[in-house]
Amino acid sequence: MPGPHSPSASSSMVEDICSMVGAVTIVLMIWKFIRFIRLYTRSSSIKRYCKGKDAWALVTGASDGIGLGFAHELARLGFNVILHGRDPTKLEGVQARLQQNYPEVNFRIVVLDASSTSHKQIDKLVASLQDLHITVLINNVGGGAKISPFELLTADEVDAVINLNARFPTLITRALLSKLTKSIRPSLILTIGSAGDPVVPYAVTYGGSKAFNMAWSSSLKLELKAEGNNVEVLAVSVGKVTETAFCKDPVTFWTPDGRTMARAALQRVGCGKAVVVGYIGHAIQKFVLDILPASVFASVVSSHMKMLREKERKKQKKR
C-alpha cells in the first residue's frame, strides 16, 4: 500500500488540487458570464429621475454625435432638455428639429465654448438655469484631439484639450452640485469617457484627460455616497462611435451610431458600478483586448495611432 509520502500519493494530491482549481475557475467564468449578461439585459432606472413633467436634463455637447443622441433619447423618455454647445445657429437648428419630434417636452439652449471658458462664465451659465428642476447632468462634451506627437503641439492646443475634456466637466459639475445635493429628488451625473485603456500615443493629452474623467467620477461617486447624498454618479466608457462629427463609417455591431450609444449608456443607469462600458459591442472588444499580453496590446495601439498620424500628416500636406 502506498504511504502518504509515496510518489503515487503526491501525484494524486496534485491531480486533486488541479481539478479543484479547474472547477473553481469554471465556476468563476460562469459567474462572470452571468454578471455580464445581467449587466446588458437589466432594465434601466433612468425613469426615477423623470418623475413629474418638470424634470430637466442638461446635456453638454448636444449639437452633434453622441450628445445629440442623448438629447433625443432623454426627450423620448419625457425629460425637458437643456442643449449645450458652442455654435448658436447649429443649436437652434437642432432645437427646432427636436421640438418637432417631441412637441410635449421643452428645450433650452446654452452656449459656451468649453475649451476656453473661465469658471466665472460656467458659474454664470449654471446660475441662468436656477429656475429649472435639473435632475440629470450628462457630461458628454469632449474630443478635439489633434493626432500629433506631443512635442509638436502648442501650449494652447494642449490647454484646449484639457479644458474641453477634463476642466469643463469638472467645473460645470461643481457649479451644479449643490442644486443636486439639496434637491429632495434623486439625481444623476453621467460622464462620458473613452473605452479601454486610456493609453493613446499621438493623442496623449486626450488619453490623460479621459483617464482623469474616470478617476474623478469614481471618486465623486464614493464621496457623495459617504456624505449620504441621493446622487447617482456613473462614468460610461465609449469605444468607436460613428455618425459623429469626425467619423462617418458605416454602422456595424462594433461601431454604433451616436443615438444607439446614448441609448446604451442610459440603459446602464442604476447598474451600481463606478465605471461601465456603455455598449455591449464595445464591452466584447474590451474583453478581447484585456486578454492580450501588454506588449502585444501596446504594439497594436501604437501602430494603429501611428497610421492615423500618417493619414493626418498627408491630409495637412495637401491643404
State yes or no: residue 278 binds ligand NAP (CB under 6 A): no
d(CA 275, CA 283): 12
The total of other beta-carbon atoms located within 10 Å of residue 252's CB is: 10
Is 47 a catalytic site residue?
Answer: no
- Its sign, for the CA torsion 158, 164, 165, 170, is positive
Residue whose grid cell is 494642449: 158
Please state the φ and ψ torsions of residue 147, each to the nearest 5 degrees.
Answer: -80, 105
- Its sign, for the CA torsion 10, 12, 15, 17, is negative
d(CA 70, CA 303): 33
Beta strands in 86-125 (DSSP E): 107-111
The total of other beta-carbon atoms located within 10 Å of residue 210's CB is: 24
State which residue, 25 or 154, has the beta carbon closest to ligand NAP.
154
Catalytic residue, from 206, 221, 240, 279: name it.
206
State which residue, 16 or 162, has the beta carbon closest to ligand NAP.
162
Task: Tell me the closest approach of the beta carbon of residue 301 to ligand NAP, in angstroms.
Answer: 14
State which residue, 49 or 168, has the beta carbon closest to ligand NAP.
168
Q: Cell digits for 206?
A: 486626450
Task: Tell me the closest approach of the beta carbon of residue 211 to ligand NAP, in angstroms.
Answer: 12
Task: Tell me the closest approach of the beta carbon of residue 85 to ligand NAP, in angstroms.
Answer: 5
If binding means CB under 6 A, how many residues of this protein chain bind ligand NAP? Answer: 30
Site for ligand NAP in 13-32 (CB under 6 A): none
Catalytic residue, from 210, 221, 240, 279: name it.
210
State which residue, 50 or 114, has the beta carbon closest to ligand NAP.
114
Distance of CA 81 to the CA centre of its chain: 19
Q: Please select the residue that binds ligand NAP; options are 80, 95, 173, 194, rule is CB under 6 A.
A: 194
- Please name every residue paired with 6 in a beta bridge, in sequence order, or none if there are none: none
Q: Cell digits for 138?
A: 450628462
State which residue, 28 or 247, has the beta carbon closest to ligand NAP.
247
The mark string for 140-179 relative to ligand NAP (x by CB under 6 A, - otherwise) is xxxxx-------------------x---------------
Q: Cell digits for 182?
A: 439639496
Site for ligand NAP in 65-124 (CB under 6 A): 65-67, 85-87, 90, 113-115
Q: Please select the residue that binds ligand NAP; options are 20, 245, 251, 292, rule is CB under 6 A.
A: 245
Is 49 a catalytic site residue?
Answer: no
DSSP 273-295: -SEEE-SHHHHHHHHHHHHS-HH
| Interacting residue ranges for ligand NAP, rule: CB under 6 A | 61-67, 85-87, 90, 113-115, 140-144, 164, 192, 194, 238, 240-241, 244-247, 258
Active site residues: 206, 210
